A and B are shown apart, each in its own frame.
Chain A
Amino acid sequence: MSVTDALRGAGAKPAGKRPYFLDAEVERVLAITMSIAQELAVSRQRTDTLERLLLEKGVLSQGEIDSFVPDRAAAAERALWNQEYIARILRIVQQENEAVDRPDDIASEDVAAEVGAQS
């Protein structure tokens, strides 16, 4: 079985119409969010496994991660990473706020009619 087939098969819908308990839009976003929560848990556990193995092998010592203090440059890099990360996630909020400033914004669909006009 190809990876593509296995992936499609893994996510296959069971026979039987799906019930919705919330507005379909909300439930869809909740389902996506909980899958991401699952994958975050998986990553968190993987990091934890790595830490424990490094500890066991003497590469790290107990408490080293919790007492870690980044130097100035590292702190800046890490802080910037957080800023970038948040900005990516909240892109839609940024764009909706920018839209407040663009009361004359026009939809492409309307522009299409305009630019496609024969005369």
Chain B
Amino acid sequence: MSKNDPAADYDGPPDYRVIGRHALFPQTNHDEIERINFLAQMNRHLAANVVPGVKQSYERRVAPAFEASEGRPIANRHEARKALLQDPAFRTWSALRRLTMEQRQQAGRWTALRQAEQLAEKARELTEGDDRLKLDSSLQQPRYVSAVDHHCMPGSYHTEYFPGDVTNGANYDHAGFVTTSGLLGKYSDGGGHAVARWVKRNLPDFQPKQILEIGGTVGHSSLPLAQAFPEAEMTIVDLGAPVLRYGLGRAKSLGVDNVRFVQASGEDLSIFPDASFDWIQTTMFLHELSTSSMRAIMAETRRLLRPGGIVLHVEQPQYAPEMPLFEQAMRDWDAYYNNEPFWSRMHEMDLDAEMIAAGFERDQLIHGGVTAVVDRDLFPDAADDDKEDYGRKAAWHVIGATV
């Protein structure tokens, strides 16, 4: 620690003004930026300074009290969470974490909504008549999307407030910084760059022609793949029209042209013939599904994959017996209190077994791990970050298969 030099000792999210902008990025005034800075610092404070207190309370109060009353230790993460719910430290942290998410949504939505018509007009200019945007207004949103708005994002990814609207894409894109604290980098694409790097390192001879990302939202995780393989054509499928419209505008404005955005459900991609893709990617996607849709999607990926192709799913780590119950309970927080209802179940599933049930061979399965790749001069690097923000850290597992 350099003595008495707060700037040299600084550890935390960068100022929001380092964020990368593009033609569809909403305008942000001084106070809107500072709101985002404040909220990113709130999340950092909760992770760095409040969570350790919750952990200590668990060890010193919650677990011993459970054992004293039940005559046995806490046996699983659900018992751990329910016991934590009785504890003031967990409750205070939870109340603060929840309201910070609500403040984040309000802040981001205000910025996007107050310029909604201008953004829609820019999106129209960028995408009108471009056949790389294929929307399907007859697509029904599944129950697992409509029942609760994921991560408390009002209107989720799909709601349009007027024809041509991109509000929910703009909100998701520009204010996600609050939750990721800059760990995803300048264009929130550190996850995509990590995957591209992983593939280049692990499969040096792989030269995909057709790449598909299911649940690509505005393209954060997809564009880096298109950039890493400029000869390939990248297809991004999602359920939400506002995010896809925004996504194509964003991609074009960032100069990434080998992409197309298609509104469809990954459960039924019959618009594409069998063996259409060399690489099928999903990123931070499986946890926002349901058991049946996940199975249907895995089966579709098997059908759509060409011989020699790969499917990769990038997700937060699964609950394994070695993972302490406290950590599992904390990771489950998003499932119960941040509207991520499939999170808990998905993270306990045997994904290898699911892949095999979908038609992949056990000895063809792929396992790995990645951390976000960012511009280290400006952004914090998840690989160096020893804080644990339970489920939100930019470090993921890779599960996949080749055929």
Contact = CB atoms under 8 A, between A and B. Distances in A.
Interface of A: 1, 3, 5-7, 9-16, 18-22, 27, 30-31, 34-35, 38, 41-42, 45-46, 49
B327 interface: no
B113 A10 contact: yes
B339 A16 contact: yes
Interface string B76-111: 000000000100001110111011101101110110
Given A1-B113, A21-B91, A42-B35, A13 B154 contact: yes
A38 B98 contact: no
Interface stretch (B4-12, B56-64, B145-153, B302-310): B145-153
B38 interface: yes
B110 A7 contact: yes
Contact of A30 (B38, B99, B109, B152): B99
A16 B147 contact: yes
B116 A31 contact: no
B115 to A, nearest CB: 9
Given A1-B114, A7-B110, 11 more contacts: A6-B114, A6-B116, A12-B155, A14-B152, A14-B153, A15-B148, A16-B152, A21-B92, A31-B95, A34-B42, A42-B34
B272 interface: no
B232 to A, nearest CB: 37
A1 B147 contact: no
A31 B114 contact: no
Contact of B109 (A9, A21, A31): A9
A34 B99 contact: yes
Contacts of B95: 20-22, 27, 30-31
B106 to A, nearest CB: 5
B96 A6 contact: no
Contact of B34 (A3, A18, A41): A41
A38 B38 contact: yes
Nearest to A49: B30
A112 to B, nearest CB: 38
B296 to A, nearest CB: 23
19 contacts: A1-B117, A1-B162, A3-B114, A5-B113, A9-B109, A10-B113, A14-B105, A14-B149, A15-B156, A21-B98, A22-B92, A22-B95, A27-B99, A30-B95, A31-B99, A31-B102, A34-B100, A34-B103, A42-B31
Nearest to B33: A45
A15 B34 contact: no
Most buried by B among A1, A27, A35: A1
A21 B336 CA distance: 12
B337 interface: yes
A114 B242 CA distance: 61
Nearest to B153: A14
B89 to A, nearest CB: 11
Interface string B261-302: 000000000000000000000000000000000000000000
Q: Lowest 8 A-B CB distances belong to which pairs?
A: A16-B148, A10-B110, A14-B149, A6-B113, A21-B91, A45-B34, A12-B154, A41-B38
Given A14-B154, A16-B147, A19-B336, A9 B34 contact: no
Contacts of B234: none
Contacts of B373: none
A46 B116 contact: no
Contact of B31 (A7, A10, A16, A46): A46
Contacts of A18: 98
B100 to A, nearest CB: 7
B147 to A, nearest CB: 7
A6 B153 CA distance: 15
A15 B98 contact: no
Contact of B149 (A5, A10, A16, A49): A16
Contact of B30 (A9, A12, A34, A46): A46
A27 B98 CA distance: 10
B194 interface: no
B37 interface: yes
A41 B336 CA distance: 30
A46 B34 contact: yes
Given A9-B113, A21-B98, A22-B91, A1 B161 contact: yes
B277 to A, nearest CB: 33
Nearest to A48: B34
B154 A34 contact: no
A60 to B, nearest CB: 19
Nearest to A7: B110
B13 to A, nearest CB: 14
Contacts of A42: 31, 34-35, 38
Contacts of B39: 38
